Amino acid sequence: MRLEQSEFEKIREKIYDYCGINLHEGKQALVRARVMKRIRKLGLSGFPQYLNYLQKDKSGREFLSLVDVLTTNKTSFFRESQHFDFIRDNVIPAMKGRRVKWWSAGCSTGEEPVSCAIALLEQKVSSRNVKILGTDLSRQVLQVAKKSIYSAKNMENISPSLKKKYFQKVDEGWYAVDDEIRQMITYGRLNLKTSWPLKGPFHVIMCRNVMIYFNRRTQQELVSRFCDILEPGGYLFLGHSESVAGANRGFKNIRPAVYQKI
């Protein structure tokens, strides 16, 4: 089943206009493979018929399904562990027992906010003192995050002691997150390109391995908005292949991919 250049351009433009994700030329094979899943599920003949179906669907449901299949949601517990070392050694001690808000922007299936909650509890921070917001564009991954049940394969980065302490075995090879952690986290769907109905300020924002999907202009706009909603002295964590270069007014770089609001 062939994806014509003009068809790829239409999909690319729709996604960029909606959420700022930049599907460059190198993503054509990925787009073809993932959209074919929708074509098969709907019983359509090919990309021309699918684009026509997408155009005629006034409910917008199919477009959201397209967004779901085209967003990449790779994640794991305690991913980029140096960040969690920094949180343990620097961020948590500076909180000094006060109440704060954390935001996992691009939380995927929830491993990142759960890892943050575990890091906080391991340092004796009261679960009542931290509210963690997890947001993502994909409805599918948020369903998994809200259920907070993970397979044994997902748990490979969790030590046996932490697994015993913060998870309960619910079935063979499946583990549910402890209620105390679940109560610390609120999940919601958010398009980072649109307005944010969020109440700040936040002490920590983690937006790791998300901005690589945006062009430079969108990245700079996003960093500026993060700066606005962070408290003075608050922290922004990016993925290790990302930076705020060109848009770092208001931030100082204190570790690789760790920025503090001035």
Report the candidate in 132, 118, 116 with the shortest Cα–Cα distance to residue 185: 132
Active site residue 136: yes
SS3 209: coil
CA separation for the pair 58, 139 (Å, rounded): 19
Q: Is the dihedral of CA 116, 77, 112, 140 positive or negative?
A: negative
DSSP letters, 42-61, are HT-SSHHHHHHHHHH-TT-H
CA separation for the pair 230, 8 (Å, rounded): 37
Selected catalytic residue, list 12, 38, 136, 208: 136
SS3 3: coil
The identity of residue 144, as a single letter, is V
SS3 218: helix
What is the DSSP secondary structure assignment for residue 211, as one 8-state letter? G
Selected catalytic residue, list 34, 79, 88, 255: 34
Question: Which of the residues are catalytic?
Answer: 34, 136
